[in-house]
Amino acid sequence: MSIEIFEDCKEKLKVKYIDSEMKPLGYVGGKSDWIDLRSAENIELKAGDFYIINLGVAIQLPAGYEAYIVPRSSTFKNYGIEQTNSVGIIDETYCGDEDWWKMPVRATRDTVIHKNDRICQFRIMKHQPKLFFETVDSLGNDSRGGFGSTGRE
């Protein structure tokens, strides 16, 4: 597995690692624009256990950005864990030396997670702009048929 470094990066993230054993963040093999995050500890969970996994990084995001943390596509298959908050959102104010990124999980089966196992991923996005909500009687558009209207096939 190779970690890619791009010379044309426009944004810089300051990253503090919990210790020198953590593998550095980076793009993995050009396969995604999401960045993998790793467990910072060895964990043994029994089915039904809840645990907050330390991801071993504290990161200063650029002003005006937030990070979204979600499981990797193979996380459930490999470890039998589900992220209990569905998606984690970290804003740029969570940037102190002790503001470690974490992932709350529930184990659906007995499992072991090792330090530096890739268990989730993140990307950063600009903050949503301030929105104004206008109340109307009609949106003025044709209906697509409502929730679930595209069928099963």
As annotated, the active-site residues are 91
In angstroms, the CA 53 to CA 102 distance is 5
The token duo for 46 is: 């029994």
In angstroms, the CA 46 to CA 23 distance is 26
H helices of the chain, in order, are 75-79
In angstroms, the CA 94 to CA 107 distance is 27
DSSP secondary structure letters along 4-33: E--TT-----EEEESSTTSPPP-EETTS-S
In angstroms, the CA 29 to CA 1 distance is 6
In angstroms, the CA 93 to CA 42 distance is 29
